[in-house]
Chain A
Amino acid sequence: MNRRAKDLFIKRLNRAGSYAILIVVAVLVVTPIIWLLLSSLKQDSDYMAWPIHFLPINWQWINYERVFTLTPFVKIALRTAVLGISCSIIVAITSAMGGYAFARFQDVNGNSRLFRVIIVLLIVPGIVFMIPQFIVYSYVHLIPNTYWPWILGALVGSPLFIFLYRQFFLGFPKELEEAAELDGCNPFQIFWLIILPNAKPVIATVLIFAFNGIWSDYLQPTLFLNDQMQLLGAKMATAFVDPHGNALRTVSLAATVIYILPLVIVFFFGQKYILKGLVTSGLKG
């Protein structure tokens, strides 16, 4: 009986400790975001004040309006969204082709060897290829004023997405395809009419990942584009300025909030796809 009481005590202690950790981490995670929101509602002078003002003196909701009226944010955001959406759609299709081939044509010579290449490419991070690509693209003048590096990158598919599709198609029943084949469908019809319409969850995952990748990317646009063509990810690194060249500090913070917002919304609606994609790519072992 005594031992049971002791166990219960340890269990309670454990539990209390767990909640303490959860809450402390939650506070640490949320504080930066709250501080960003508060700062984005201050006047510049208020924001620069010392000792600091924890809350805005005048709540400058107008900062959010000024993002639209005083800065080129909307124009650049639209440009980034159009590029992001088009490239995501392209890469979702080309990668699906690759993933389907790797999943369903395993009897073909070369399949497993090429798939090993995909795995290696998954581990090697982008930057190792980005600098040589920069040199080649500059040499053929696709840098600094075209979006070809993005479009080409989407057209050839991505190792990560090919991998995600492959894992999905491996668990996909073969009967449908076999029936379609008996009905005289060629492989491309099967892919287009049977496979793609039934792959909606993984397509959603890929679309979200691909769009987020382009919307969030800082390095590639910084290196590959000049100022006239620049994308939002690179633009957000520095504060917007007024016509006299003075930094619009808190307006830029409001712009940062608007910049993050679509990603948060996509996350809330696509949570299960995002987490599933993350877990599939994380647990490939």
Chain B
Amino acid sequence: MAATNVVSARRPPRSSSRAKRRSRTFYLFITPWLLGLIFLTLIPFIFGFVISLTNYDGINLPTVKFVGLDNYIRAFSDQYVSFSIGRTLVWTAFNLPIWLGLSFLLALILNQDVKGRDFFRTLYYLPSVVPAVAAVTVWKILLDKNNGFLNGVISLFQPGTAVGWLTTYALQGMTAIAVWSGLGGGMVIFLAGLQNIPDELVEAAKIDGAGSWQIFQYITLPLMTPIIFFQLIMGLIGSFQQLVYPLLLATVTGQYVSVPPRSIYLYMIHTYQQIFANQRYGYGTALLWLLTIGVTALTLIVFWSQKFWVYSGDIPETEGSS
């Protein structure tokens, strides 16, 4: 809480007591958050790291042994780790492009002068307010193998259809749920971005004879890249940490033990199983740390890739836009 050099250099000396007072007020105001940062974020995080170096099982503290990096080394020979990473990558490759593409497309359409704009926007956003647990219930009865709506409709044309949309094709089914739930949120953010593009720019291009595809290619898309970039990062992180959907789609369930179909045995599920089903706290927290490292690395790569495709200038100033 030292008085700041920067501030006292900029201000006349007699106001340094004011600077001190302001500094005190600032830290008083953020005290709750700082305490939370220390006790509810940093300490559990460090504690989690320490545990990842032990064989802690959640119960027997006296027998805890320090095992060094064993848990981390073990992860590399655990065939379920590589399997679940593979599933996570496939899930991300499925979910992310569909979600991004569809929500961008809808935003593009709704940014035009179409009838019922507000109606459609509200409608598409509606599933986003449905909690994950209810969304899964909704889709379970829709996609159920034996008496679900989808198989029922298909059976009208091809009697006796019993496709396991949430078992055999669990990955596809889960993608449908995630896209249904995420569509509205993605669309709203893209729409806000589109509305920031000055009309004058588009008008000027039209006067110069640009077609709608050219306007999209040379104006809309480049100016939207920062938002696509942001959505990509959040989507990547979200996909890699996905736990709730597979957990809720598990076929064998207990309070802590849930086994989802193989195709959606994601990395977080494996981690969850280690901690809550097998009481391997040490190993589980090690897996969690590896995930954090992996996701951070991936995020940094996307950040680095920014310079190749993300428009970094300001949105051009035009008269009339503030």
Contact = CB atoms under 8 A, between A and B. Distances in A.
Contacts of A50: 146-147
A219 B244 contact: yes
B60 interface: no
Contact of A282 (B137, B180, B189, B288): B189
B227 interface: yes
Given A22-B109, A135-B51, A156-B40, A98 B192 contact: no
Interface in B230-285: 230-231, 233-234, 237-238, 241, 243-244, 247-248, 253, 255-256, 268, 271, 275-276, 281, 284-285
Contacts of B34: 114
B189 A283 contact: yes
Nearest to B230: A285
B204 interface: no
Interface string B1-44: 01111110000000000010011011111101111110111011
B245 to A, nearest CB: 10
Contact of A109 (B4, B122, B125, B130): B4
Given A187-B25, A279-B192, A107 B120 contact: no
Classify chain B's interface size. Answer: 35 or more
Contacts of B124: 25-26, 29
Count chain B CB atoms within 10 A of each CB in A10, A108, A284 and give the residue with the most: A108
Interface stretch (A63-71, A81-89, A119-127, A199-207): A119-127
A266 B130 CA distance: 12
B103 to A, nearest CB: 10
B256 to A, nearest CB: 8
B131 to A, nearest CB: 3
A110 B23 CA distance: 9
B129 interface: yes
Interface in B140-175: 141-142, 146-149, 151-152, 155, 159
Nearest to A102: B30
A245 B126 CA distance: 34
A263 B237 contact: no
A26 B123 contact: yes
A215 B133 CA distance: 11
Nearest to B255: A222
A136 interface: yes
Given A32-B138, A282-B230, A152 B189 contact: no
Majority DSSP secondary structure for residues of B touching A:
helix
B215 interface: no
Given A97-B30, A97-B32, A267-B126, A216 B138 contact: no
B106 A128 contact: no
Contacts of A98: 29-30, 32-33
Given A36-B141, A128-B292, A263 B130 contact: yes
Count chain A CB atoms within 10 A of each CB in B41, B109, B134 and give the residue with the most: B134
A218 B29 contact: no
Given A135-B48, A263-B130, A32 B139 contact: yes
Given A98-B33, A219-B243, A108 B212 contact: no
A168 B23 CA distance: 21
B48 A105 contact: no
Given A128-B292, A131-B275, A48 B58 contact: no
Contacts of B139: 32
A178 to B, nearest CB: 13
Given A49-B147, A109-B2, A29 B180 contact: yes
Contact of A132 (B22, B33, B44): B44
Nearest to B114: A18
A263 B129 contact: yes
A32 B142 contact: yes
B53 interface: no
Contacts of B6: 109
B86 interface: no
B180 A32 contact: yes
9 contacts: A25-B106, A25-B124, A107-B22, A125-B238, A187-B29, A233-B131, A275-B125, A278-B189, A282-B188
Given A25-B102, A135-B48, 12 more contacts: A18-B112, A25-B106, A97-B33, A105-B23, A129-B45, A131-B285, A131-B288, A157-B33, A216-B133, A218-B248, A279-B188, A285-B227
List the 6 shortest-distance A-B pairs measured between CB atoms, nearest first. Answer: A156-B36, A132-B48, A216-B131, A109-B4, A52-B152, A101-B29
